[in-house]
Chains A and B, each alone.
Chain A
Amino acid sequence: MGDYPSRSANAGTGGTPVTEGREWPAGASARVAENSFHTSGPSGSGLGGGGALPRARRFGAERAFRGLTMAAGTAVLVVIAAIAIFLVAKAVPALRANTENFWSFEGWFPNDAEPKFGIGALAFGTVLSSALALLVAVPIALGIALYLSHYAPRRLGTTLGFLIDLLAAVPSVVFGLWGREVFINPVRDFSVWLNEYFSWLPLFGGDGPFGRSILLGALVLAIMVLPIITSLSREVFLQTPTANEEAALALGATRWEMIRTAVLPYGRPGIIAAVMLGLGRALGETIALALTLGITFGISFNLIENGGNTIAANIANAFGEANETGRGALIASGLVLFAITLIVNITARAIIYRRREFTESAA
């Protein structure tokens, strides 16, 4: 069973090397080698040659090239370290200057003579909007991915799949603009309707105005991450080995049972990876939310009243007027955002690794 194609889930985790070239035609390596034959031997003294074996050189192109690549690898580590160092260095003075509790204070006044700012409401808004967005987007995205991979006629599935891939590349600012100018109208109507009949639920209470709310932001986020999750999970579903699908069908499974027996279990690590990527995008999304949320600084579960804010949107909005402490405060909030996304990423990796062990321990 070692011949499954490497999954895109592996791509994110850098799975095991897949360089066994069993499919390579027999003469290929020889042919390629001939092409490079004119390059002279390692010692530069003709081809093959006789006499004593030349000694390995201590310095030479090999070492230089190796050193160059290693330097590039090190650069990645340097960048990561620099990110941590510079962000912390700029955040600490601002946090020292803060006269309120950074975690619990609801408000953002870092530019005052007595700076007051707190991350609580922002972090809450970030998590709430992303969670809502995924709650809406994931089932629909998986539905579409299954439709494209296993229900639609093949040609239609391929064409639509390509279009979805393209939509996944559309910049978020476009979705933000659309949400602010177009989508806000149906959402406002919907919010008014919800408020009329369900105002007894705290989620849908309040007296308005409605529209530029967490609901709008979350729905725009959902529509934005939908193509991303769909595109990745469709790819995963398509990679299900045909042999397993046929095995399920040959046991008398209906189409849905075949999907449940063969497709979904096989694709689970890939689905988790796709969802987590979508979550990462949603958590870090700045502009789409800066354009659609109504920017307030309170913790509230009300989804439909104007308001809502996230860490990233707040950075974009408050950056213009920020002074020295203000910038430091925003950088501190950015660190918190980074920490949240990091936790999400690492959790996802851990889940994928654990699930894969069972699947591939012997593959």
Chain B
Amino acid sequence: MAKRIEASNVTAYYGGFKAIENINLTVEPKTVTALIGPSGCGKSTFLRSINRMHEVLPGARVEGSLTIDGQDIYDRDVDVTAVRRMIGMVFQRPNPFPTMSIYENVVAGLRLNGVRRKSILDEAAEKALRSANLWDEVKDRLGKPGAGLSGGQQQRLCIARTIAVEPQVVLMDEPCSALDPISTLAIEDLMFQLKDKFTIIIVTHNMQQAARVSDRTAFFSIEKTGDPGRLIEYDNTQKIFSNPSVKKTEDYITGRFG
């Protein structure tokens, strides 16, 4: 199920602006990798490059190579939609489809892929909602609008929607930044369980969160505003938070910078 992601010399642009430069990084299967760093350092940009969501913005493009189990996802023959099915994404703010019910939200991805049979959809919906620790809370109101849930529930609904298509990799872009502490805890618990099946990459501003949930941590930074973001250090989370080898990382971790 889970796959290895390798980035080499990844550089991403917004029009003429270079947002990240020469990122080299390997993400192992079935791990949680946290991307941390100050605002504007390009960690979200890098995350969005992994499932080719970066290029959705007008004028945005990516150079270098990104592979998933050896397949280049930026190859000319590659089908973008296949990449995104294989590498799912959870966004910063919960974004359930407002016109759809809870059930319809969860199976939206499956329906897009032509799954029509009710029994398969029902089974997948229950499985995904259970995996997202949401089943017990919503099983009696699957037909109600997804927008009617609380923020934390909505975010778990979005996670359920993402894992319902059973991707190989799940990208999370600050998934807890819009949530209260209790919902945050619920989602962190969820990440622990999900890593048995998926490769997870998470962008977070919250260093305690990175320390709690991740196996590996990558620290991104910029020299000054307008410069491209670079990968400063990438190591085991424990190492990064206890004994970083780069001074800049230590400054950031201890709160002296950023």
The answer to whether A and B touch directly, with their CB atoms under 8 angstroms apart, is yes
- In the assembly, what is the distance between CA of A247 and CA of B84, in Å? 10
Chain A residues with CB under 8 Å of B93's CB are: 243
Interface size range on B against A: 20 to 34
Interface string of A235-273 (1 = CB under 8 A from B): 000000101101111111110010001100110100000
Is residue B162 within 8 Å, beta carbon to beta carbon, of the partner chain?
A: yes
Assembly CA distance A4 to B93 (angstroms): 13
A1 at the interface (CB under 8 A from B): yes
Assess whether A249 is in contact with B98, with CB atoms less than 8 Å apart: no
Q: When the two chains form the complex, which single residue of A249, A257, A265, A268 contacts B97, counting CB atoms closer than 8 Å? A: A265
Residues B98 and A359 in contact, CB atoms below 8 Å apart: yes
Q: Which residues of B contact A (CB under 8 A)?
A: 51, 53, 56, 58, 81-85, 88-89, 91, 93-100, 108-109, 112-113, 145, 147-149, 154, 158, 161-162, 165
> Which secondary structure dominates where chain B touches chain A?
mixed
Binding site for B on A (CB under 8 A): 1, 4, 153-154, 241, 243-244, 246-254, 257, 261-262, 265-266, 268, 358-363
Whether A253 contacts B81 by the Cβ 8 Å rule is: yes
Cβ B112 vs Cβ A247 within 8 A: no
**What is the CB-to-nearest-CB distance from B95 to chain A, in angstroms, rounded to a whole number?**
4
Q: Are A153 and B58 closer than 8 Å at their CB atoms? A: yes
Known: A252-B81, A265-B99. A154 touches B58 (CB 8 A): yes
A153 vs B58: C-alpha distance when bound (angstroms): 8
- Distance, CA A253 to CA B97, complexed state (A): 14
Given A153, A254, A261, which contacts B108 in the complex, CB threshold below 8 Å? A261
Is the CB–CB distance between A251 and B84 below 8 Å?
yes
B105 CB, min distance to chain A CBs, angstroms: 9
The answer to whether B53 and A361 have CB atoms under 8 Å apart is no
Complex CA–CA separation, A250 to B113 (angstroms)? 13
Write 6 A-B pairs (CB below 8 A) sorted by A numbering. Answer: A241-B98, A246-B91, A252-B165, A261-B108, A265-B98, A360-B147
Bound state CA distance, A333 and B41, in angstroms?
Answer: 69
Tell me the complex Cα distance, A1–B88, Å: 22
A266 in contact with B91 (CB, 8 Å): no
**Contacts A153-B58, A361-B145; A250 near B84 (Cβ below 8 A):** yes
Q: Give the distance in Å from the alpha carbon of A257 to the alpha carbon of B113 in the complex.
A: 10
**Cα of A243 to Cα of B174 in the assembled complex, Å:** 14
Give the CA-CA distance A246 to B89 in the complex, in Å: 9
Contact indicator A265/B88 (Cβ below 8 Å) = no
Which of A4, A154, A247, A362 is in CB contact (< 8 Å) with B145? Answer: A362
Task: Give the shortest distance, in Å, between B90 (CB) and chain A (any CB).
Answer: 8
Asked if A244 and B98 make an inter-chain contact with CB atoms under 8 angstroms apart, the answer reads: yes
Give which listed residue, A246, A265, A359, A363, contacts B95 with CB less than 8 A: A246
Beyond the given A244-B97, A249-B53, could you list 16 further A-B residue pairs with CB under 8 A, ordered by the A residue number? A241-B95, A241-B98, A244-B95, A246-B91, A247-B158, A252-B112, A253-B81, A254-B81, A262-B97, A265-B98, A268-B99, A358-B145, A359-B98, A359-B147, A360-B98, A362-B145
The residue among A154, A246, A252, A360 with the most chain B CB atoms within 10 A of its own CB is A252
A251's partner among B108, B145, B148 (CB-CB below 8 A) is: B108
